[in-house]
Structure 1
Amino acid sequence: METTIIVILCHYSNTSSPVLNVKNLASSLEYYINKLGFKKNWEWGNPPDFCSICRNKAEILLCEGGQGNPGTWLCIYMENVDGLYEEYKKSGAIVAQPPTDYPWNMREMLVKDLDGHCLRMGHRIPETDETA
């Protein structure tokens, strides 16, 4: 079962595409595709040093040795973080923290990529007396 990923959209646009700086585009592409379930939209350069990947409506741009900064954090919202966690355990993704409930009414997990970028992935949970 594929987990649906939802992105929060900007007021001025219907898309938001962060740029992540990577050391090796080919290795990063392989990780995002084979471990995280993204698909390649396009790549640019000869040899390629810039590309677009997506999973559902979540798009990320990867740039080798250029744009972006190390250690970037992204928040990606979805319907079921636990289903995605099970998928990522099987694929061998780098899960830095399993799904955890937080007082800000979110259930989130932290996933790292090969360059140390952190994908904070989660879904809303109902308010309780403690979080209201």
Structure 2
Amino acid sequence: MPAQLTSSAPVLLVRDVVAAANHYRDTMGFHYERFWGDPPGFVILHRDGMYLMLKQAEDPAHIIPHWTVSHNMWNAYFWVDDADALHVEFVKNGATIDYGPCDQPYGCREFGIQDLDGHDIGFGQVVSA
């Protein structure tokens, strides 16, 4: 049997890794165990078996949200089992909603948030094949 991929993790550059990690924890329910570096420069976040890595940029000019170079493009996208319920949770926790739940022509009910560094993160529920 060939080797298999078991997980993936988008990596985002951020201005302040501690502030960004705490924002993901407080508004989107991600968790982390530790930071790497002194001062902290890297963290691995997780929620529901999904991962997201944050790396503090040496130069803030290197932080380029994808939507600034490609219209409506996310920096990361997560498939979910209930987009509407997750949206309600994120709103309650104070997340910055980029766009509310909507049905897309590619068969997903989705919404997007924007993090402290302007990255768009999409969350989509497959609603049709």
Q: TM-score, normalised by structure 2?
A: 0.83
Partner deviation per Cα, 1:11-66 (whole Å, 9 max, x = no partner): 94111111100001121011000011100133200111101001111101100015
Of all paired residues, the percent bearing the same amino acid is 28
Conservation of the 8 A alpha-carbon contact between 1:41 and 1:54: no
1:51 to 14, 19, 43: 43
Q: Which residue does 1:3 correspond to in 2?
A: none
Counterpart in 1 of 2:80?
Answer: 78
Structure in which a larger fraction of residues adopt helix: 2
Gaps of 5+ in 1: 1-10, 128-132
Q: Which residue of 2 aligns with 1:20?
A: 12
Structure 2 gap ranges (5+): 67-74
In structure 2, the residue matched to 1:87 is: 89
Out of 18, 23, 38, which is 1:31 matched to? 23
8 Å contact from structure 2 (residues 63, 117) kept in 1: no
**Letter paired with 2:113:** V
What value does the CA root-mean-square deviation take over the aligned residues?
Answer: 1.9
Query: What is the aligned residue count?
Result: 117
Q: CA deviation at 1:83?
A: 0.4
Rounded to whole Å, the distance in 2 between the matches of 1:47 and 1:124 is: 41
Q: Deviations over 1:55-92 (max 9, x none)?
A: 111101100015x8521411100100100000011110
Is 40-49 or 51-60 further displaced after alignment?
40-49
Task: Indicate conservation of the 8 Å contact 1:78/1:122, yes or no.
Answer: yes
